[in-house]
Amino acid sequence: YLIFWVIVVVVVLPLTWRPISVDTDVDAYRRADSQTARNHLVYLDSLNSMQAVRNESVLGQRTTLKLELLYEAKDGDVFSESVLRDIRAFEQALRSLEGWSKLCNMSEPALQFQCSPGESFGNYVWPKRLDNFLTAGGFFRLSFDGSASERLPLDAVVAYLREGRAFPHELQVFLPMAFTEGSSSRLLRSIFGFTAPSLDDADFRRNYQDFVEKQLYSAMKEVVLFTRRPVDPSSWDKPPSMQIYFRGDLLDDYEVLEALHGDMLLAIGPLILSLILAWIKFRSGFLALSATTLLCFTVLLAYVILPVEKVSLASFLGVFMIFGLGFSSFFRMHEIWRRSRLEAVEHWERLMYLFTAAGREMLPVVCTSLCYFLLLTSNLVPLREFGIFIGTSMLLAVAFALLCFVPILLLHEVYLRPCLRRMSPRVVMVLEPAHVKPNWEMLASKIMLLLRRPKPLLAGTALVVFICSVTALAVTAAQPYPELPEVFPHDHHREAGRPLLQTFRHVNPAEVAAPFTIQMCEPGRNLSSCALHWCDLQNTGSNLTSWPSEQAAACSCYAPLGLTTMCSNITVSMTISGSRATSLSEATVVPQVEAFMQTHFPDADYVETSSATSRRLQSVVLEDWPTGATHVDPMTEMPQISLGFPTPRLSTSSCHETHLCYCSPKTCTNPTGYRRTTSDLSLPALSTTTEDATSTSSLTSSEVVVLFGISKPFGLADLLAKTITAQFDSTFDPASPWAQRAMLRVCEELPTTLQVLTSRCWILDFRTWLYSRGQKFPVERFLDFHQTLKEFLVSYPSSASAMWFNEGNNLTATMFTFQVTPTDGATATLAARDLWNSYIDQLNSDAASTASNAWATSQVWVDAVTLQDALSSAWQVLLAVTGVVFLVGLFYVLDLELVLALLLVAFCVCSVIVFFFFCLCGWSFGPWELTILTVFLSYSIEPAFHIGHDFINPGLPEALRAEKPLAPDLLSVADAVDAPAFDGDGTGDDGSPPQVQAPRHDGLSQASEVNPKAKDTPEEAIQRSIHLVAKNLVSNSLKLLLCGILLAFSQLRIFSRLGAISILLPLLVVPSVLLVYPAIILASGRQRREPDVLVFGNIMINKLSWLWT
């Protein structure tokens, strides 16, 4: 029989085994299985398929492995000289790694700029100057390689990135979404990428994985620890002035696997401890080793049965719990087997007794397994997987105990023990330490001394529980918000950097290189390729950077030196610097410019402004040479102005000239080739409305994305589904004018209740672009929309980052992003989500069918829903577990009073645990902590089931009793079977001659003697029950305590927190089961041994007997 099951296990495992693949997605613990989360998963998945067909010639379709670095200034802001210098030094050291250079050279040549020099803010802060002097053309050149020793002024860098000449780079690539020009920032981001040279990326990924394992991860881990090292005043070696956080493809996975590998090595400790304690408990090395082997098989078979492709970290957590809790089934089977010696002589009779009694004995273990399966109702997928894994493992342990361990017990007794008689006594003492056993009878008697006065004991317990409960409720209620599960410790760079990273916009490595060399031009040169204008600041004696809004802006104007008095027609281009021209409407500025021209050319016959609109030029950087301070002003080119003069004139030809006006307290020195005008331009003061409209918010922001053309997921997902694939919406037709109108409405008709700060809507730029070409919006019906859009993307290439394209490179889906004011708390966030959904639903109901399936998503919504749903599902699990424990307890104990006392004991244990960890240790209350407490609820009262059952056992019918009356002729047989093994010469273990052994006070051989009897008083019955229960309870508690100590040193937070609870729980369960629960029974004064269910059944039978009499 045993050989049969060994063959089954040996054959089944290899045939069904699959390689272990670990799910390293730590964000799954912060993502509930809700419609909001599924929507966001679809959005994230769609970002990977913005091109419908992978094309070898399209570089964007190659595999790009991304490394994202986040810097946080320790003091001040990240723009300080010391922080930027430390960032540059670190990135240079990173690029100098041997593996980095090798991988970069292996990358696609056209995209090697992603890794060298990378996409870093420092490249723009430290540009190399290619011209030492201003060239004859009025410009000097800069190269953005980050190698210079002289910094480019920060406001110049910000202006350059803001104005779009650095495409695909912009401010939000490097700075948080809430950053506004002129403000400071504590955060900065750099992005590096390695792109495979072909679509076949297997070798490239393998080399990158090797680089991560051998060089990159260790380098990143070392520098992260170095930046967090406290400053030693006595040391010259100072840590950097910033902290570093990193994310990366394959790098994140390796970090999780490395931590998991280290923690799983700790699992060897619980396994060895379990083996040693089982050795002592069984008093047999063979039984301990066999039970440990079977326990390992339960873990392996549970993995085979688990219906997932990738195993989450929570399932590995179950390995610790199995080693800590799984021996209960084997201990119970061993107890019953030894007890069977007192029930029968023949082996088949003992086996019949064993399997009959096992049904009742295993019921508490099955109850614990069912409690784990209740985790399937949780909204967190990893917790569902954890529940299936640990529940399946517990049931498999029961199955192995019944089907495999019983033959092992028989084999041990019939064949192995006789063989031990021929061995050395010392060997026997090691293999079968029969004399190593605590005096459980003495322990039971000591406990009963404490229970002589149960009411004071219960009063003290009630006081402690009351204080712990009230304090824990007050502390948890005072916490601003519950906490979502964190896989790593709170101070780990992964968890500490999570909220910081969420302040940045999601960006992938650029597919085209940003301009590497640019020109800085002198104002008035009319150069089209200028990145910025640059001039020396004229000393005006004013400290103002802009005119007060209530004051008119005085402008200093310059005209070219060349004379145009001989021309009968003059076309003037007016360029104005300063924020006043951009703050005022064009209708306000143009009349002022015309009046200035009329004054400057008093003999002009007419002054006319063209119908074209004004346009922004690259800003001008004004440098104060003595101090090195700089100031940046925007520059605006007004519509051309035509002036006509009466004849006769020297010439009838037409002339063109450019005028410069500095409408700011900061003005440039006299530009080359220009003269000061005799009259000046004046711009009016700003109105209050205009001032308010131009003000910016300094608040942080959250991102909301509205999508067209991506199908919204519907229906129920698989219980263990971890990914969702995005699909395109076939009904979306962007070429339809009604679809274009619907997209425009999303961006134009935003209600104020949505609290939108800024938006990124390419449809607005598309409409403006069409108007500038003299075309209509939407694109006219008989024009080619897709061809028109491709022409638009030539002028606005950054808009393509918000579009999905099909095989024909035509638009098939799009998105619009909005920065909104962040809300305070999950409830307010979900209320904002409902407002957005109502707004989108209303637009969908009004839109044509070609664009009526728009929907919105946001990461902050996912976090809020996860917190709310995970907590609600955790409370549901708690109620379900309580219900299961109550029903199973009622079925097992058959007494309502005793079962309610069991639940009261469990409440006391949980109250003290909550107080200890939430009040004393400072844990934040969250769904993970609540779930851990829930699954331990059944464990904490499982031993008490036996005390309750033993108390009412004499009151049961004989067929339901745990033990039958002891046959006198079997007692000597039981003692003889349990006698110590003898060696071959007939001597005992201690070398003495064999003697007839008196009945020993062995907890197993004397099982029937300590089982409660009908004649016992309640005190005697409880003492006998404590004697029975204490053996397994103390053994399991000690094992769980030692496993918890090892688990507490884990790197993963979910492991260490379970370890902390595993340390405290046994310290509470042992006194609760052995002291508090018996005290409740004794304090009630109950003498009746009949269970409530039996009494109630007899009453009901008597009441209803008239039906059959």
Task: Give one DSSP letter per residue of 70-97, joined into a string.
Answer: EEEESSS-TTSHHHHHHHHHHHHHHHTS
User: How many Cβ atoms from other residues are within 10 Å of residue 232's Cβ?
Assistant: 10
CB 457 within 8 A of CB 1075: yes
DSSP 826-893: HHHHHHHHHHHHHHHHHHHHHS-GGG---EEE-HHHHHHHHHHHHHHHHHHHHHHHHHHHHHHHHHHH
Name the helix (H) or strand (E) containing 1058. helix 1053-1071
Rounded to whole angstroms, the Cα distance separating 144 from 166 reads 10
What is Dmax (Cα atoms) for the chain?
147
Rounded to whole angstroms, the Cα distance separating 122 from 81 reads 11
* Sequence letter at residue 789: L
Rounded to whole angstroms, the Cα distance separating 324 from 107 reads 49
* Residue 497 pLDDT: 87
Torsion of CA 1033, 1036, 1038, 1044, to 10 degrees: -130
Candidates 657, 633, 696, 485; CA nearest to 562 is 657
How far CA 1006 is from CA of 815, 876, 948, 955, 1024, in Å, comes to 76, 44, 20, 22, 11
Candidates 414, 325, 419, 425; CA nearest to 365 is 325
User: How many Cβ atoms from other residues are within 10 Å of residue 774's Cβ?
Assistant: 6
Pairing of β 606-609 and β 654-662:
unpaired
Backbone angles phi, psi at 808, to 5 degrees: -85, 10
CB 1057 within 8 A of CB 928: yes
SS3 292: helix
CB 122 within 8 A of CB 88: yes
* Sequence letter at residue 77: D
CB 372 within 8 A of CB 394: yes
* Residue 566 pLDDT: 66
Name the helix (H) or strand (E) containing 35. helix 35-46
pLDDT digits (tens, 9 = 90+) for 777-821: 888 877 889 999 988 887 777 788 888 888 778 889 999 999 888
* Sequence letter at residue 1050: S
How far CA 329 is from CA of 1, 264, 368, 393, 419, in Å, comes to 20, 24, 12, 11, 27
User: How many Cβ atoms from other residues are within 10 Å of residue 1074's Cβ?
Assistant: 25
* Residue 696 pLDDT: 38
Quick one: three-class SS letters along 533-600? Answer: EEEEECCCCCCCCCCCCCCCEECEEEEECCCCCCCCEEEEEEEEECHHHHHCCHHHHHHHHHHHHHHH
SS3 965: coil
Euclidean distance between the first and final Cα of the chain, in Å? 51
Residue 453 contacts by C-beta under 8 Å, 6 or more apart in sequence? none
Residue 280 contacts by C-beta under 8 Å, 6 or more apart in sequence? 433, 436, 1035
Tokens of 168: 């695909």
Rounded to whole angstroms, the Cα distance separating 79 from 107 reads 32
Residue 31 contacts by C-beta under 8 Å, 6 or more apart in sequence? 37, 40, 41, 380, 381, 862, 866
Tokens of 1019: 């005190």
The neighbouring-strand residues paired with 64 are 195
What is the DSSP code (8-state) at residue 718? P
Tokens of 783: 């024009």
Task: Compute the half-sphere exposure of residue 12: CA atoms within 13 Å on the CB side of its CA.
Answer: 14
Task: Compute the half-sphere exposure of residue 846: CA atoms within 13 Å on the CB side of its CA.
Answer: 12
Name the helix (H) or strand (E) containing 36. helix 35-46
Tokens of 1043: 């496993």
CB 334 within 8 A of CB 401: no
Name the helix (H) or strand (E) containing 226. helix 217-227
Rounded to whole angstroms, the Cα distance separating 975 from 971 reads 6
Tokens of 814: 């799009």
Rounded to whole angstroms, the Cα distance separating 212 from 249 reads 10
User: How many Cβ atoms from other residues are within 10 Å of residue 922's Cβ?
Assistant: 8
Place of tokens 């954890």: 386
* Residue 302 pLDDT: 86
Helices (H) and strands (E) in the chain, counts: 40, 22
Candidates 627, 816, 617; CA nearest to 164 is 617
Residue 51 contacts by C-beta under 8 Å, 6 or more apart in sequence? 58, 60, 61, 804, 805
* Residue 505 pLDDT: 82
Rounded to whole angstroms, the Cα distance separating 79 from 186 reads 8
Q: What ranges make up the beta strands (E) of 709-795?
A: 756-760
CB 634 within 8 A of CB 577: yes
SS3 621: strand
**751 burial class (0-12, 13-18, 19+ CB within 10 angstroms)?**
exposed
Residue 456 contacts by C-beta under 8 Å, 6 or more apart in sequence? none
Rounded to whole angstroms, the Cα distance separating 245 from 36 reads 28
* Sequence letter at residue 46: S
Angle between helices 313-325 and 251-266 (to 10 degrees): 0
CB 522 within 8 A of CB 621: no
User: How many Cβ atoms from other residues are within 10 Å of residue 800's Cβ?
Assistant: 19
pLDDT digits (tens, 9 = 90+) for 205-238: 999 999 999 999 999 999 998 888 887 777 667 7
* Residue 992 pLDDT: 38
Sheet of 187-195: strand order equals: 187-195, 64-73, 242-248
Name the helix (H) or strand (E) containing 498. helix 498-501
Candidates 1023, 1031, 995, 1016; CA nearest to 1079 is 1023
Candidates 748, 744, 739; CA nearest to 848 is 739
Per DSSP, helices labelled H in 267-380 are: 268-282, 285-305, 313-325, 328-339, 347-361, 363-373
* Ranges in the chain, pLDDT < 70: 1-2, 4-5, 8, 49-61, 235-236, 479-483, 563-566, 611-612, 647-653, 688-700, 715-723, 935, 937, 955-1014, 1109
328-342 per-residue burial string, b: 16 or more CB within 10 A, e: under 16: bbbbbbbbbbbbbbb
